[in-house]
Copies of this chain bind each other. A is one copy, B any other.
C-alpha cells in the first residue's frame, strides 16, 4: 500500500481556481467503495452501511429534485406577482396577482375577467380613473418606478452579498463540471441571493429570462445537499456527477421537460457523464417536475406558461419557410454572440465596468420607458411567447386573433379555416415588428449585466415574434392566393393550412439554437412543450439549419464565448485540431529553455527542494532515478510537497534543511550524524500518465479530454522526459 501511515491533512486536496485530477478522484472513490464492500461481509452494521451508501446517491437525487422543484415554484409565483405589481394591485389582498385576483370574479370570458373590479391599476387607485392621458402617464410612471426599484434591489443585493449570483451561470457551471474549482460559486449565499435577485430581475421587466439561472440555482441545491453525504462531500469527481444531474433538474423545471433536461446536461454542460448519472439525472429531473407540478404555479397544471397543444397538420412545402426561420435564427445567433461579446469586452476594459449599478439602472429605465407603450413588450416575455405560440381559436379575443369571420360551412372546434386578417391583426403586426427590433437590441446589452439573467427566454421571444410575423404573412398569402402553384393542392379555400403559432414555435427554436448551438436537447425540449411528435421534423429542420448557419458565421456558442472571454480553462470537446503537431512540439521546456526541473528519488535535501519550489511556479515535479539517467519514477504535486515539508518540519523530530528527502521504497541506512531522512513516497503519484514525444497532439488532447487529466509527462525512448505544458485551454493552465 502506498498510503502514508498518517495522512497529512490537506494532501490530495485542491486550491481554489485549480483543476482537479479526475483519475485520482475516481480512483479514490473506488478505493472507498471497495473498502465498504469488503467490510460489509463482516458485520450486519457494516452491511447496512454499505446498503445506505449505495442508496445515498438516489436519496440525494430525490432531495435535489424536491428542493429545486420547490424553489422553482416559489420563483414562478413570486415573479408572476411582482410583474403584475408593476401595473396594479389587488384589493382583496395585495399578495394576489392579477389572475388570482380575478379568479372569483363573475365574468366568464378571459377578456372580461381581465377587467375585474377587484384589480385596480395604479391610476385607478390614486386618481380614481383609468381613462385619459393623465391616468396613462400615472400608470407609465409607476411602471418605470417599480422596474427601477426591483432592478436596483437586485443589483445591490448581488454586489453586496454574492457577486457570483450574476449572469446565467451556465458558462461557469460548464467550467466547474469540466473539473475547475471556483469556491463559493455554488454555495448557500449564492443560492439565496440568486433566488431573490432572480425574482427581482425578472419582475423588473428587463429583457432576460429565469431559465438559465434556474440551472445555476439547481446546481447550488445539488452542491449544498452534497454536504450531507460524506461520499459526495469528500470527492470532487462524485460531486460533479451530482452537479450534472442538477443541471438536468434545472432545465427540467425551467421548461417542464425532464427528458430534454437530461439531454441538455449531456449535450451542453456535462463533461463526464457516465450511465449511472444518466439514470440519476432522469430520476431527479422527474422528481423536480412533479414537485413543481404539485405546486402548480400557473394554475393550469402545466409546468411552464407557454405550454401548447397543437393538432393542426403541416405540409411538406412549409419546410421552406421553416428553413428560412432557421437561417434567420442562425444569423441572429451569430450576430448576438458577436455583439454581446464585444459589449462585454468593452465593459471589462473601459470605465463602463466601474458603475455596474448605474448601468443596470440606465438599462432598466430605457427598457421600461420603451416597453410600456407597446403592449407586446409590456407583458412579461413568457406571456408574450405564450401568446405567440397560441393558435387562434374561435373564442380567442386577443388582438392577434382578430380575423374576419367568413361564413364557412363546417366549423370543427379545433381546426379553423384560414381567414383574412382583421385590422387589429395588422396593428399587432406593427407592434410585433417594433417589439422585435427592441428585443434584439436591448438583449445584447442586458445579458452580462450584474444581475441574474438568462438567455433562453429573450432568444425564444425574438424567434417567436419573427416566426409569428412570417406565419401570419404566409397565412394571408395562402388565403388570398390559394390558386398559386405552391398552394394548389393542399391549401384550398376554407381549409386550415397554415398555423401561425407553429411558425412562432419553430422560430423560437431556431433563434435559441443559433445562440446556444443546442440541437437534440432543444428539439426534445420543444417536443415536450408541445407534446406532439409530428412537429419534430419542422423543429429539427429549423434547428439544424440555424446551427449550420451560425457555425459558418462564428464557431462558438454563447456559453463557450463567455468562457473564453472570462479566461476559464476549458477543453472544448467539440473542437477539432487543425494542425498536425506532435507532443514534442508543444511540450515545455522547449529545446531552448533551461532544462526540466526534476527531483531525484533519493539525492536531494529539504533545502534543495525548497529552493526548487521557490524558484519555479510549476504545479508539480517529475521524480527521476538520478540527474544523469532521467528515468521517470513518479510525479509529485507542488501543493502536496509544500504541505508535507511544512508538516514534517513542524511535527517530525529533527527534520531540518539538511535532511535528505527519499521517494524510494526503502531508505538506505544514513550516516550516524546526519539528520533523520524525510520519506515522501506516500505523496508521490507512482502512475503518472506518460506519452512519447512522437505522439500526435490530437491524441494527447483526446487523452486529456477523455480521462480528465491534470498533467501528462512526455518521454523520449522511455528515459529523458519533459512536462508537457499544454495551451491554457487544457485543464492544467494554472502553474505547472
Contacts and interface: CB of A to CB of B under 8 A. Distances in A.
A687 interface: yes
For the complex of A and B, 7 pairs with smallest distance between CB atoms: A687-B695, A686-B694, A631-B718, A632-B718, A706-B706, A718-B718, A631-B717
B23 A699 contact: yes
Interface string A678-693: 0000000011111110
22 contacts: A2-B694, A27-B696, A30-B577, A30-B698, A34-B579, A37-B578, A259-B259, A262-B520, A278-B520, A279-B544, A283-B544, A583-B687, A625-B717, A631-B718, A634-B694, A687-B692, A687-B699, A688-B692, A690-B715, A706-B707, A718-B719, A719-B719
A719 B631 contact: yes
Contacts of A721: 718
Size category, A interface: 35 or more
A30 B536 contact: no
A692 B702 contact: no
Contact of A698 (B27, B258, B267, B699): B27
Interface in A377-431: none
A706 B625 CA distance: 31
A359 interface: no
A485 interface: no
Contacts of A233: none
Interface stretch (A490-498, A523-531, A605-613): A523-531
A359 to B, nearest CB: 36
A533 interface: yes
Interface string A473-488: 0000000000000000
Contacts of A625: 717-718
A403 to B, nearest CB: 30
A82 interface: no
A218 interface: no
Given A533-B528, A631-B719, A717-B631, A27 B262 contact: no
A447 interface: no
A199 to B, nearest CB: 27
A614 interface: no
In the complex, the count of this chain's copies comes to: 2
A591 interface: no
B687 A696 contact: yes
Given A286-B537, A574-B275, A718-B719, A687 B698 contact: no
A26 interface: yes
A33 B577 CA distance: 10
Given A286-B540, A524-B259, A633-B717, A702 B580 contact: no
Given A267-B278, A279-B544, A687-B696, 13 more contacts: A30-B577, A31-B580, A286-B536, A531-B533, A625-B717, A625-B718, A632-B692, A634-B694, A686-B695, A689-B691, A690-B715, A706-B707, A718-B721
A576 interface: yes
A73 to B, nearest CB: 17
Given A23-B702, A631-B719, A702-B26, A519 B279 contact: yes
A523 B633 CA distance: 50
A31 B279 CA distance: 37
A717 B632 contact: yes
Contacts of A34: 577-580
Interface in A284-331: 286, 289-290
A619 B7 CA distance: 43
A122 interface: no
